[in-house]
A and B are shown apart, each in its own frame.
Chain A
Amino acid sequence: MERPLTKHIHPDREPLSLQEYEHVGGYQAVRKALLELSPEAVVTLVKDSNLRGRGGAGFNTGLKWSFVPMGPDVPRPKYLVANADEMEPGTFKDRLLLEGNPHQLIEGMILASYAIGADISYVFLRWAYKKAAQGIVRAIQEAYAAGYLGQNILGTEFSLEMHLHTGVGRYMCGEETALLNALEGKRAMPRAKPPFPQVSGLYGKPTIVNNVETLCCLPHIVNNGPEWFKSLSRTQDAGTKIYGVSGKVKRPGAWELPMGVTIRELVEEYAGGMLDGYRFKGALPGGASTDFLVEQHLDTPMDYTSIAAAGSRMGTGTMIILDDQTCPVGFVHNLQHFFAQESCGFCTPCREGLPWVEKVLLSIDRGEGRPEDMNILDFHTKYLGPGNTFCALAPGAMEPLQSALKYFREDFERHIHDHQCPWK
């Protein structure tokens, strides 16, 4: 089984230095792209590889790039931003790549920048990733010293600056337009779209924001081609994927695996099965803002298309397990507390609705719920759903709630009927 992204990552060792990275083929893709391929050819290569954004949305990366205006008369500077603000609860996959092999990310960023003609690039890193920050600072310095960054890279016309920006903590920063506001020194509130960042992004200039894992795929696609990248997958969605499992399993962790391994394989094989005495009740397949899947979905392949067909989203591909001894109401209350707290407060449904949902869930969890509370939760899943709020935060928050109300409705009703939590 090929594991291109994590092949050179050894959690107990320091990340590869520039020389070590070059020794295992590092920066060959930059040489190939800059010296042999046009930017348009790189875009086509990535489009053909069917690489889909690993931050959660799953949009075709090459297609996203193709909306950036190209040619001599376009607004400059253009920007490329690596979204390393991993803050989706239950998600710890980019940390592995950032701490494990920062040069791979930098190489991916250079390739993306070349493809869209970016002049300046940023790594937008969350503050908590201290070890990653040290590695990235060192790797950027090494890349400048070796001439992979700076003016006229490898003697070509292409020049690129790279900077590390460390955030100060807010979930909204993961939303790409809010991230751009944060980079401009503003409150991380989302912007209206259109215009899309590809046309008017950072400081009003064309900008691409790509997830860390997405960028880390690029050197391998350029080196080995789109057909190879597709062949890594078991399903129609190409490549490998960093999957993770957390919760009451024997071996929680993150692994790079072919796209399309099943939920069952992840839970039973890679995570070693449930801890003794615990049973699988459900899972959020891709972070806090994805719909629950349950036992009947265990054999669903973990890819964008199959998980969507099962009624959820692949999201970040890092799964949180709900076991039979954990209260689903308490579980969902914890999620809604997070979303209510992290709402930026700009639009009314999200600012007012999420705290209401949180309070109702708390009262149900405490045995103080009323039968009509179920209606309150039900209508919030509609009024805070897609199309009613300014950005995707509240609709994302409603995904685990609406699916919990569907699959675990009896558990909610039992709390209300018995005036207590059956798990306490």
Chain B
Amino acid sequence: MLTTEEIAQIEHEISLVPQKKAACIEALKVVQQHRGWVSDESLKDTATMLGMSAEELDSVATFYNLIFRQPVGRHVILLCDSISCWVMGYEQIRDYLMQKLQITYGETTPDGRFTLLPNVCLGTCDRAPALMIDDHLYQNVTIEELDVILHHHR
């Protein structure tokens, strides 16, 4: 069941567009903002509000990289794996994170704190390698700093 707040926010998004369906990406964002991810149940409820089938909404949800259809940790680490970060050695950052957190891409630490995902170019190639944790962008990342960076996100 969507909460009253989620329903109100989704209705607001619907009011801004000429067709209900056009609000579907915003609606998915609303759900994810509240729950961290979009469950099958939330997806069905959201689809009903938008006058879409669950399948149609899922086809949109799964198309985009940043709508999560599986539970994620409290903090999502998005590690840039595109060309400039590759040239500047992002693979060392990746290996360190995987070893330190004992997870691979797509996994969440057992304490539910971090999910690690690869991400396409973050558009900060002059300060590579780069990663984002939630809304925070980290640039010119070195292995030495990683422990401190992770420490910021409890």
Q: Which of B5-37 contact A (CB under 8 A)?
A: 16-19, 21-26, 28-29
The segment out of A147-155, A243-251, A386-394 that lies at the interface is A243-251
| Chain A contact residues, CB within 8 Å of chain B | 86-92, 94-95, 126-131, 163, 166-171, 182-188, 203, 244-248, 252-254, 284, 288, 318, 320-323, 326, 330-331, 334-335, 337-338, 341-342, 344
Do the beta carbons of A169 and B84 come within 8 Å of each other? no
Task: Enumerate 7 A-B pairs (CB-CB under 8 Å) in ascending A order.
Answer: A168-B65, A185-B60, A186-B21, A187-B59, A187-B60, A252-B125, A288-B82
Residues 102-121 of B at the A interface (beta carbon under 8 Å): 119-121
Contacts A89-B84, A90-B121, A187-B59 given; does A252 touch B127 at CB 8 Å: yes
Q: Is A92 within 8 A of B132, CB to CB? A: no
Which A residues touch B29, using CB under 8 A? 166, 168
- Whether A246 touches B84, Cβ cut-off 8 Å, given contacts A168-B29, A185-B17, A342-B120, is yes
Distance between Cα atoms of A181 and B60 in the complex (Å) = 11
Knowing A128-B132, A203-B18, A248-B87 are in contact, say whether A170-B124 is a contact too (CB < 8 A).
no
B126 contacts A252, CB within 8 Å?
yes
Complex Cα distance, B64 from A126, in Å, reads: 12
Contacts of B122 on A, CB cut-off 8 Å?
128
B129 to chain A, nearest CB (A): 11
B143 interface residue (CB < 8 Å to A): no
Residues in A with CB closer than 8 Å to B125 are: 89-92, 244, 246, 252, 318, 320
| Contact present for A95 and B83 (CB under 8 Å) | no
Are A320 and B25 touching (Cβ within 8 A)?
no
Min CB distance A18 to B, Å, is 24
Across the interface, do A168 and B28 meet the contact criterion of CB distance under 8 Å?
yes
Indicate if the CB atoms of A168 and B64 lie closer than 8 Å. yes
The interface residues of chain B lying within 8 Å CB-to-CB of A183 are 22
Most buried by B among A128, A130, A334, A344: A128
Bound together, the chains give a CA A170 to CA B66 distance in angstroms of 9
Residues A247 and B84 in contact, CB atoms below 8 Å apart:
yes
> Total contacts A to B, CB within 8 angstroms?
130
A337 to B91, CA, bound (A): 14
Most buried by A among B26, B81, B83, B135: B83
Name the residue of chain A whose CB is nearest to the CB of B140: A252
The winner among A88, A91, A320, A334 for most chain B CB atoms within 10 A is: A334
Select B19's contact among A86, A88, A203, beta carbons within 8 Å: A203
Cα separation A128 to B123 with both chains bound (whole Å): 8
**Chain A positions within 8 Å of B59 at CB level:** 187
User: A94 to B26, alpha carbons, bound, how many Å?
Assistant: 24
Instruction: Give chain B's interface residue range (CB within 8 Å of chain A).
Output: 35 or more
A95: which of B23, B67, B87, B124 is its contact (CB, 8 Å)?
Answer: B124
A184 to chain B: closest residue by CB: B22
Q: Residue B137 at the A interface, CB < 8 A?
A: yes
Q: In chain B, what residue has the closest Cβ to A249?
A: B126
Task: Tell me the smallest distance from the CB of A337 to a CB of chain B, in Å.
Answer: 8
> Nearest Cβ in chain A — how far from B38, in angstroms?
11
Do residues B83 and A335 form an inter-chain contact, with CB atoms below 8 A? yes
Are A253's CB and B126's CB within 8 A?
yes
Contact A91 B83 (CB under 8 A): no
Given A130-B135, A187-B63, A88-B87 contact (CB < 8 Å): no
* Residue in B18, B22, B87, B127 whose Cβ sees the most chain A Cβ within 10 Å: B87
Q: Is the CB of B135 within 8 A of A87?
A: no
Least CB separation from A186: chain B residue: B60
Docked-complex contact B84 and A185, CB < 8 angstroms: no
- Of all chain B residues, the one with the shortest Cβ separation from A271 is B126
What separation, in Å, do the CA atoms of A335 and B86 have in the docked complex? Answer: 10
**Given known A-B contacts A203-B18, A320-B87, A342-B120, A254 and B64 have beta carbons under 8 A apart:** no
A168 partner residues in chain B, CB cutoff 8 A? 25, 28-29, 64-67
**Residues of A with C-beta under 8 A to B18:** 203
Residues of A within 8 A of B127 (CB): 252
* Distance between Cα atoms of A188 and B61 in the complex (Å): 11
How distant is A317 from chain B, measured CB to nearest CB, in Å?
13
Q: Which residues of B sit under 8 angstroms from A334, Cβ to Cβ?
A: 81-83, 86
B26 surroundings in chain A (CB, below 8 A): 185
Interface centre among A91, A182, A186, A335 (most CB of B within 10 A): A186
A334 CA to B123 CA, complexed, in Å: 16
With A130-B135, A185-B60 given, is the CB distance from A169 to B87 under 8 Å?
A: no
Contacts of A182 in B (CB 8 A): 25
Q: Which residues of A contact B121 (CB under 8 A)?
A: 87-91, 288, 338
B65 — nearest CB in chain A belongs to which residue? Answer: A169
Known contacts A185-B22, A185-B24; A331 and B83 CB within 8 A of each other: yes
Query: Do B126 and A245 touch (CB < 8 A)?
Result: yes
Contact of A92 among B81, B83, B124 (CB under 8 A): B124
With a cutoff of 8 Å between Cβ atoms, the chain B residues found around residue A187 in the complex are 59-60, 63
* Given A130-B135, A342-B120, also A90-B66 (CB < 8 A): no
Tell yes or no: B88 within 8 A of A by CB.
yes
Mask of B80-106 contacts with A, CB within 8 angstroms, 1/0: 011110111000000000000000000
- 7 additional A-B pairs beyond A88-B121, A247-B87, beta carbons within 8 Å, are A89-B84, A170-B65, A184-B21, A184-B22, A203-B18, A331-B87, A335-B83
Pick from A185, A253, A318, A341: contact of B25, CB under 8 Å = A185
